[in-house]
Amino acid sequence: MTNAKDDFSMSKYSNFILSSDLKNRADAIVEKYETKKASILEILRLVMEEHGHITLAIEEAVAEYLEIPVIDVREVVTFYTLFYTKPKAKHRFHVCRTLSCHLMGSGDIIAYLENQLGVKAGEMTADGQFSIETVECLGACEMAPMMQVNDDQYVGFLSRERVDELIEKVKRNKEK
């Protein structure tokens, strides 16, 4: 009889989702934590960087690797906006929709972005270049309305003019 660790090495997910290199990097992350489950955020980020987004099969593989129920992984993936469950656009506009931003005009900013890019919130342009997402608080209510561009740029005090500048900047960088 084999134990769970032996079963994992035989898993249908091990070669495709968790290659030996990825598994070695995941093992190094897990070693930093008291329990395997505590490493879930870092493991999901690692796997997402490798695959681009997190599919249901990836959730199952991570659950199997961490020896936790799949629902535990699913809850984390769906709670945090930093995890993508479908292919992500090259340039992503995450507009805060919570109270402070809403009161300061985030709804108008979302509508303007939708008009400028030709897609609705939650969609991606046909060429995969742009997407618009509405998100929960970005933690900068004093700069409302607020947006996160991709995963690293935060822009506040949004206006139509500022949105146009951001779109143009992204397009210029795309051409380089």
Within this chain, do residues 108 and 140 fall inside the same structural domain, yes or no?
A: yes
Flag whether 61 is in a domain: yes
Q: Examine residue 84 and state whether it is found in any structural domain, yes or no.
A: no
Q: How far apart are CA 141 and CA 76, in angstroms?
A: 25
Whether 106 and 158 have beta carbons less than 8 Å apart is answered as yes
Cα dihedral 158→161→164→170 (10° resolution): -60
Given 28, 44, 79, the domain boundary residue is 79
Q: What angle do CA 157, 114, 45 make, to 5 degrees?
A: 75
Instruction: Give 38-96 as a 3 state SS string.
Output: HHHHHHHHHHHHHHCCCCHHHHHHHHHHHCCCHHHHHHHHHHCCCCCCCCCCCEEEEEE
Residue 56 lies in a domain: yes
Give one word for 100, left, alpha or beta, with left for phi > 0 and alpha for psi -120 to 50.
alpha
Cα–Cα distance measured from residue 56 to residue 73, given in angstroms and rounded to the nearest whole number: 10
Q: For residue 129, what is the domain's CATH number?
A: 3.40.30.10
Range of the domain at 54: 4-79
| Residue 104, pLDDT score | 96
- Whether residues 96 and 69 share a domain: the answer is no
Do 66 and 15 have their domain in common?
yes
Contact 111, 76 (CB under 8 A): no
Number of domain units in the chain: 2
Q: What is the pLDDT of residue 17?
A: 74
Both 121 and 156 in one domain: the answer is yes
What is the predicted pLDDT for the residue at 176? 53
- The answer to whether 145 and 106 have CB atoms below 8 angstroms apart is yes
Domain final residue pick, 21, 56, 79: 79
CA angle 45, 137, 53 (to 5 degrees): 25
Ramachandran angles phi, psi of 54, nearest 5°: -110, 110
Is 130 domain-assigned? yes
DSSP 37: G
Domain membership flag for residue 60: yes
Residue 9, domain CATH: 1.10.10
**Residues 95 and 170 occupy one common structural domain:** yes
Helix, strand, coil shares, percent, the chain, to 5: 50, 10, 40
Going by DSSP bridges, is the β-strand pair 153-155/91-96 parallel, antiparallel, or unpaired?
A: unpaired
Read off the pTM: 0.69
- The pLDDT profile of the chain, 176 residues, written as one tens digit per residue, is 334 444 444 355 555 677 888 889 999 999 999 999 999 999 999 999 888 899 999 999 999 999 999 999 999 999 887 898 988 899 999 999 999 999 999 999 999 999 999 999 999 999 999 999 999 889 999 999 999 998 889 999 999 999 999 999 888 876 55
On whether both 63 and 113 belong to a single domain, the answer is no
Whether residue 41 is contained in a domain is answered as yes
Residues 60 and 108 in one domain: no
Q: Are residues 164 and 97 in the same domain?
A: yes
> Does residue 106 sit in the same domain as residue 41?
no
